[in-house]
Amino acid sequence: MKKRQVISTVLATAMVASLGMTASAATEVAANELAYKGELEIMHYSTSEESEGNGGSDGFRTVLAAWDEAHPDITLTQNVLANAEYKTQIATLAAAGDLPDVFLLQGMNTIAWADQGLIMDLTDTIAASPYAADYNEAYFTPFKTADGKIYGYPALTGGTCTVVIYDKAMWAEAGYDAFPTTWADVEAASEKFNEQGITTVAFGNGGKWQANSDFLSTLGNRYTGPEWFQSLINKGGAAFTDEAFVKALTEMQRLFTETSIFNEDFNAVTNEDAREYYISGDAAAFIGGNWDWSYIYATLKDSDEEKFANMGIAVLPQPADATEAPTSQNIGLGYAIAINPNLAEDPDKLAAAIDLAQEITGPAFASYVAENYALGGLTKVADVDLSAFDQQTQDFYNWSYVDTETCEIYDSCINSAVWDILNTDMQTMMNGEMDPATVAQNAQDAYVANY
Amino acid sequence: MKNDGTHKVKKGVLGVFMNLILWIFSLSCIFPIIWMIYSSLKEKRVFNADIISLPKEPTLVNYIRILTNSDYHLGESMWNSARTTILSIAMIVVFSFIVGYILSRVRFKLNRVLYVMFLMGMLIPIHSLLVPIYIVFQRCGISNKWFTLLLPYVSFGLPMGIFLVEGYVKTIPVSLEEAASIDGSSFTHTLWTIIFPICKPILVTVAIIQVFSCWNEFSFALVLIKDVSLQTVPLALTQFKGQFASDYPKQMAAMLITMAPIVVLYFAFSKQIIKGMVAGAVKG
Amino acid sequence: MKMLNATRPKNKTLFLYLMIPVAMFVFTVFVPLITALVYSFFEWKGGPVKTFNGLTNYIQLFHDGTFWEAFGHNIYLVIACIIGQVGIAFVLVLMVNSKLVKCKTIHRTFGFFPSTIAAVCIGLIWNMIYHNKYGILNWFLESIGRKDLCQVWLNNSDLVMLLVTIPLIWQYIGYYMVIILSAISGISTDIFESSEIDGANGFQKAIYITLPLIKNTMLVCVTLCIAGNMKAFDNIYVMTKGGPGTASMVMAMYGYQISFSQSNMGYGSCISVGIFVLSLLVIGGSQALINFLTREKEA
């Protein structure tokens, strides 16, 4: 299942405990005068467990609480479920046409739900937002329909879904000062690592989505360039069966079936298990998303100072026959605050909901997560003071937001039906039991049938 | 006599063999609980590093976190679960008995139809019904109430109970009811004072099985309950899941806390329960 | 045996007794079931909008390779579990009841336990057993010198179905033990004693006395087993989610995936109807088969 929209969970350099202080930034929510008095319901998945591992979630909950306090006449009812249950529940509610007042919308559902009138068109509202000038425009992509209408305020924090975490010491020994920039070099290094009985790169695709979000999404971009995916979103003529994409699939299959770079059990273990391989030293590197980075960061900081100091990050290596964007990584926000169109009947309530949406994604939130976690959300914050954070966090911040090229995350957009089929097929393909052309064709058929 | 000797040895070997198999099986069944218990005494990272070995430094930190964090409203959810389960069991037992008995004994036009209808209830995968049930309940205004879950729990627990009772009743000779009737006992009187006690074993079995089903049920609770104050235990436990980092030891601690009442009851009363299950044969 | 008309209650009494449970059942199970049936004739992509498309979903179902592959997996499960869960449970109950076995209560109590534990835990435990690096299975193979057999068990498309069935069998043996136990307890011990005097040994007693006397309960167990396994979901979901690819896909999981992951609820309803019809056929078929086999013996 797609949990990804990791973006929300992001980086959470969460273990801010590392800073020795718990998040203490002032949450100054703009206490706007609201005429509405009554109940407002919001549904989300930032459980307290979630917020412990995740700066974005923590920020979300904190700002929500502050907003609640700032408006004593409004009863804010929060319906909080863990992510997997949230998705089941929201799907049921959508099917029954019974969505709550305010909720988190997943990117890939935008177009379908907009068609059915389940979410409100917020294009004008967003343009009129007091913070509009500071909004990071790129984040709106998954929540737009073909005609450019926007249906949500991208929420929580943005982080990468494909980062290579490697142990500098181990790779230096193998002869590389920095992580190799091409797969050919990784293969060469893998020979040395295999002799020592160490896995070169750990990866976990047990949940089927990891291969898509944490690997293909970036690898694909290296072959097709960003226009291809954009065209796919806009139904502009691109297809999964296009040569460049099939080449990406082929390379992916080659890497997992013909080289001995990865751990044997990549299809059976999840990213959570695979990152433990890295932590324990059984693997020299690991590929995952920002949530994995946060976990590894927090774990190593507490348990293994040396390994912590040796933690390095890099972009996905470039395949030999790829031609585009060698330093790209996929990053974005997977969920947005959406509003139920029924609220249009009560202008005061609608105003309250809009205010809520603006504040949860606005500067109060942004400065909270920036100051406590070095994370970024929808609203840009000027001059983030990184000096309070350790080197690792600073490096990751720069890597995520400054130094690399970005590309879209595949499963934030289009349609869950398509990705479900592609992910299942990919798992089989990575075992060598299905060929890339068939995978591409099945995905294309699903795309045509469902999008 | 020669036969006695080898016979005794054979019996001896057979005995050892059977005992061994049963012990291996029973221990394998109890191991998960033991594993859960000592794993819940580990911190998350210690657990992730080594899933199976005993904790070197057992700690109660998970339990403390759970019991002191107001977000985890376990107490309230346990009360909700207890109330729902007890009421559901009572209804399942009573209704299974009535319907199972009638279907088994009484000839009437709809007998076969009802039988098949209840059978159908067992064949449906729950997930297919989630959305339809939500819609039906929502339209009737009965979703998200304290009694909401009773309806699906009882309805889905009935088929199994009915079939078990029906099969069991078939082994009771009809002469019993006939004798009672000759003595002037009405149908209702016979049913409750004579048949009901005889069916105790199977009804106890049905109750035991359903207790765990109801307590652990998740999907319907997820879809039909929205208020935090009405959540049952499995729902409350989802608060322990994060999107990307599962804290298994803490989840296990939570599961153990919530399973504890039932497990304690089960073991405390195991003697009575077993007695109930194997209670008296019907002497012809 | 049905009762004599003399003892039969009045229709009005019957009606009063059956009214509540039947009404409850119809409302909670049947009405949604009919609703799902109706939806299966629509194209319903996850919002409130539905468009009628007649038999399109059913035709698609007929041609859906994944669905029939899943059906095959379910049949595999059913057969394995009838033999495994019910069969082994029967044998174990006989053992427990035998005079040669001590500590009967412990075995009866412990055996039931796994069926009370949530599927998530069972999945965790067995994932641990099958784990490539830290798993008990591979550790065991290594220690007996067969390292060549060590592999990533759950990634093996050919074996994965078998591997996933084993935990399912293990979990529910105790469940059927409890049911069979209570049924056997209803048999008068006189019968056993007189058969022993006649020279019957344990095996013969089991087959010729015990089994026929609890035939009804065994039939119920088999029916429960089939019904339960045709809609198996939790365990497999936790262990492999139907993977790798679709190698361990079962029908209920496929339905869930289509309805929720792919937001195609119309087709998902159609799959549910399919599961339902197939389950009816399998159960009907198996009951006919059992009746046929046992009728022969009595003749």
Cα B146 to Cα B150: distance, rounded to the nearest angstrom: 9
Nearest to C35 by CA among C268, C284, C281: C268
Q: Is C68 on the interface with B (CB under 8 A)?
A: no
| Per-residue pLDDT tens digits for B151-160 | 999 999 999 8
pLDDT at B279 over 60: no
- Percent of all residues in chain C with a pLDDT value above 90, rounded to a whole number: 10
Report pLDDT digits (tens) over A68-114: 998 888 999 988 888 888 888 898 888 888 899 999 999 888 888 88
Q: Looking at the complex, does the CB of residue A95 fall below 8 Å from at least one CB of chain C?
A: yes
pLDDT at B281 over 50: no
C102 pLDDT more than 80: no
8 Å CB contact of A92 and B131: yes
Cross-chain residue pair B284–C188, CB shorter than 8 Å:
yes
Query: Which chains are within 8 Å of C by 3+ CB pairs?
Result: A, B
Predicted confidence at residue B70, as pLDDT, reads 65
- Farthest-apart Cα atoms in chain B, separation: 80
Burial of B190 (0-12, 13-18, 19+ CB in 10 A): buried
A339's enclosing H/E stretch is: strand A335-339
Give the pLDDT band of residue A251 (cuts 50, 70, 90).
very high
- Could you give the CA distance from residue C162 to residue C152 in angstroms, rounded to a whole number? 14
> C134 — contact with chain B (CB < 8 Å)?
yes
Band of pLDDT at residue B229, cut at 50, 70 and 90: confident
Percent of chain A past pLDDT 90, that is, above it, reads 38
Residue with more model confidence, B274 or B78: B78
- Of residues C219 and A53, more confidence is placed in C219
Query: Chain B contact for C139, CB < 8 A?
Result: no
* CB < 8 Å to A80, chain B: 239
Q: What is the pLDDT of residues C132-190, one digit of tens each?
A: 777 778 877 877 877 777 778 888 888 888 888 999 999 888 888 888 887 777 676 77
Q: Which residue of A has its CA nearest to B221?
A: A89
Instruction: Number of helices (H) and strands (E) in chain C: give both, helices first.
Output: 16, 2
Of A48, A272, A289, nearest to B246 by CB-CB distance is A272
pLDDT at B98: 92
Least confident interval from A96-105, B167-176, B252-261:
B252-261
Question: Please, which pLDDT band fits residue A23 given cuts at 50, 70 and 90?
Answer: very low
For residues A328 and C8, the model is more confident at A328
pLDDT for the residue numbered C107: 82
Structure confidence at residue C212 (pLDDT): 78
Of the pLDDT bands very low, low, confident and very high (cuts 50, 70, 90), residue A27 is low
User: Above 80 in pLDDT, residue A139?
Assistant: yes
Q: What is the mean pLDDT of residues C198-218?
A: 75
| pLDDT tens, residue by residue, A384-424 | 778 888 888 888 888 888 888 888 889 888 888 899 899 99
3-state secondary structure B74-141: HHHHHHHHHHHHHHHHHHHHHHHHHHHHHHHHCCCCCHHHHHHHHHHHHHCCHHHHHHHHHHHHHHHC
Q: Are B224 and B134 in contact (CB under 8 A)?
A: yes
pLDDT at B51 over 90: no
Out of A156-170, C117-131, C171-185, least confident range: C117-131
Name which of A26-35, B204-213, C77-86 the model is least confident about: A26-35
With contact defined as 3+ CB pairs under 8 Å, the chains touching A are: B, C
User: Which pLDDT score, from 0 to 100, does residue C140 have?
Assistant: 79
Amino acid at the residue A88: T
Q: Is the dihedral of CA B119, B120, B126, B132 positive or negative?
A: negative
Mark yes or no for CB contact B243/A82 under 8 Å. Answer: yes
| CA end-to-end distance (rounded Å), chain B | 38
Where does the pLDDT of residue A211 fall: very low under 50, low under 70, confident under 90, or very high at 90 and above?
very high
Using CA atoms, how far apart are residues B60 and C63, in angstroms rounded to an integer? 55
C162 DSSP 8-state letter: H
- Residue to mutate among A49, A101, A286, A304, with most B CBs inside 10 A, is A49
Task: Please report the pLDDT score of residue C3 as a whole number.
Answer: 67
* CA gap A261, A366 in Å, rounded: 39
Task: Give the N- to C-terminal CA distance of chain C in Å, as an integer.
Answer: 19
Predicted confidence (pLDDT) at residue B276 exceeds the cutoff of 70? no
How far apart are alpha carbons A58 and A80 in whole angstroms?
13
Neighbouring CB atoms inside 10 A of A341's CB total: 14
pLDDT of residue A322: 86
Question: Residue A387: exposed, middle, or buried by beta-carbon count in 10 A (0-12, 13-18, 19+)?
Answer: exposed
Average pLDDT score over residue span A354-371: 90
Contact C250, C74 (CB under 8 A): yes
Q: Which residue has the tokens 């989610």?
A: C241
CA–CA distance, B71 with B65 (Å, rounded to integer) = 10
The answer to whether A92 faces chain B, any CB pair under 8 Å, is: yes
CA angle A85, A87, A90 (to 5 degrees): 105
Question: Residues with Cβ < 8 Å from A120, sequence gap 6 or more?
Answer: A151, A338, A339, A340, A341, A343, A344
Task: Write out the H or E segment, with its range, that includes residue A75.
Answer: strand A74-80
pLDDT average, residue stretch B90-98: 94
The one-character DSSP state at A404 is S
pLDDT at site A250: 93
Confidence of residue A8 (pLDDT cuts 50, 70, 90): very low
Cα–Cα dist B269/C230, whole Å: 34
- The predicted-structure confidence for A212-226, as pLDDT tens digits, reads as follows 999 999 999 999 988
Q: B6 in contact with A at a CB cutoff of 8 Å?
A: no
Q: How confident is the model at residue A272 (pLDDT cuts 50, 70, 90)?
A: confident
- Alpha-carbon gap, residue A228 to A242, rounded angstroms: 9
The CA distance from B148 to A230, in Å, is 46
pLDDT score for C1 = 65
Query: Considering chain C, what is the average pLDDT of its residues?
Result: 82
Q: Which residue in the set B49, B130, B247 is minimally distant from A49, CB to CB?
A: B247
| Angle C237-C266-A105 from CA coordinates, rounded to 5° | 70
Q: Which residues of B touch C11 (CB under 8 A)?
A: 108
C-alpha separations of C57 from A19, A106, A115, C212 in Å: 56, 27, 22, 45
Residue A214 pLDDT: 92
- Predicted complex ipTM: 0.81
Give this prediction's pTM: 0.82
Question: H-helix or E-strand containing A417?
Answer: helix A416-429
Torsions phi, psi of C157, nearest 5? -55, -30
Give the Å distances, CA to CA, from B31 to A325, B206, C102, C117, C170: 53, 25, 20, 12, 12
With beta carbons less than 8 A apart as the criterion, state whether A14 and A54 touch. Answer: yes
Please name which of A112, B80, A69, A436 lies closest in space to residue C265, comparing C-alpha atoms.
A112
Cβ <8 Å between B239 and A299: no
Instruction: Dump pLDDT digits (tens) for A117-128.
Output: 899 999 999 999
Q: What is the mean pLDDT of residues B222-228?
A: 87
Q: Residue B242 has what pLDDT?
A: 62
CB count within 10 Å of CB C236 equals 26
Q: Which residue has the tokens 């909901």?
A: A353
d(CA A436, CA A448): 18
- What residue type is B256 in one-letter code? L
How many Å apart are CA A186 and CA A175, to the nearest integer? 11
pLDDT of residue B4 exceeding 70, the answer is: no
**Highest mean pLDDT, choosing among B143-147, C93-97, C132-136:** B143-147
pLDDT in tens, A275-290: 888 988 889 999 998 8
Which one of C53, C129, C133, C160 makes the best mutation probe of the A interface by having the most chain A beta carbons within 10 Å? C133
pLDDT at B243: 55
- Residue C157 in contact with residue A427, Cβ under 8 Å? no
- Provide the chain B residues 123-142 that lie in CB contact (below 8 A) with chain C: 123-129, 131-133, 135-136
At residue B283, does pLDDT exceed 60?
no
User: CB contact, 8 Å: B117 with chain C?
Assistant: yes
SS3 of chain B: the string is CHHHHHHHHHHHHHHHHHHHHHHHHHHHHHHHHHHHHHHCCCCHHHHHHCCCCCCCCCCCHHHHHHHHCCCCCHHHHHHHHHHHHHHHHHHHHHHHHHHHHHHHHCCCCCHHHHHHHHHHHHHCCHHHHHHHHHHHHHHHCCCCCCCCCHHHHHHHHHHHHHHHHHHHHCCCCCHHHHHHHHCCCCHHHHHHHHHHHHCHHHHHHHHHHHHHHHHHCCHHHHHHCCCHHHCCHHHHHHHHCCCCCCCHHHHHHHHHHHHHHHHHHHHHCHHHHHHHHCCCCCCC
Residue C171: both structure tokens together: 């979990």
B268 touches chain C (CB under 8 A): no
3-state SS, residue A202: strand
Query: Quick check: B212 and C115 CB within 8 A?
Result: yes
Q: State the nearest Cα–Cα gap between C21 and chain A, in angstroms.
A: 27
Nearest CA in chain A to B226: A79
Q: Is C17 on the interface with A (CB under 8 A)?
A: no
